[in-house]
């Protein structure tokens, strides 16, 4: 299976996500599911906040151009469609065997 490209998040988004865990008292799993994030990503942000280095997270990433952002979106969509196609292939084989 192909790897889905990494997401890029703004500084404000990271701060608000951490605030859900630290201030509002949500679990990391709850906050991550609400924000459609990986639990590991949110956990790393929370650890960085506790160390006082959250502001430095993401500084090494170069800004994405519109073309790179579109390419990442298309790759994510392709990964989803490929997975759906594979499920449909398996379902077709299963139902073809059932009809015999």
For 28-70, the pLDDT digits (tens) are 999 988 888 889 989 999 999 898 888 777 766 666 678 887 8
CA 9/CA 66 separation, integer angstroms: 15
Residue 83: predicted pLDDT: 94
More confident residue, 99 or 76: 76
Output the CA–CA distances (angstroms, integers) from residue 5 to 21, 49, 50, 78, 86, in the order listed: 25, 24, 27, 11, 20
Q: Residue 1 pLDDT more than 60? A: no
Q: Are 75 and 5 in contact (CB under 8 A)?
A: yes
Burial class (CB in 10 A: 0-12, 13-18, 19+), 5: middle
């Amino acid at each position: 299976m192909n790897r889905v490209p990494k997401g890029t998040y703004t500084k404000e988004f990271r701060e608000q996500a951490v605030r859900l865990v630290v201030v509002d008292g949500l679990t990391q799993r709850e906050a991550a599911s609400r924000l459609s994030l990986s639990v590991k990503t949110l956990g790393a942000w929370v650890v960085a906040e506790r160390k006082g280095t959250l502001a430095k997270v993401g500084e090494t990433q170069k800004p994405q151009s519109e073309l790179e952002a579109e390419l990442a979106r298309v790759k994510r969509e392709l990964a989803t469609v490929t997975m759906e196609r594979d499920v449909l292939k398996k379902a077709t084989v299963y139902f073809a065997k059932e009809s015999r």
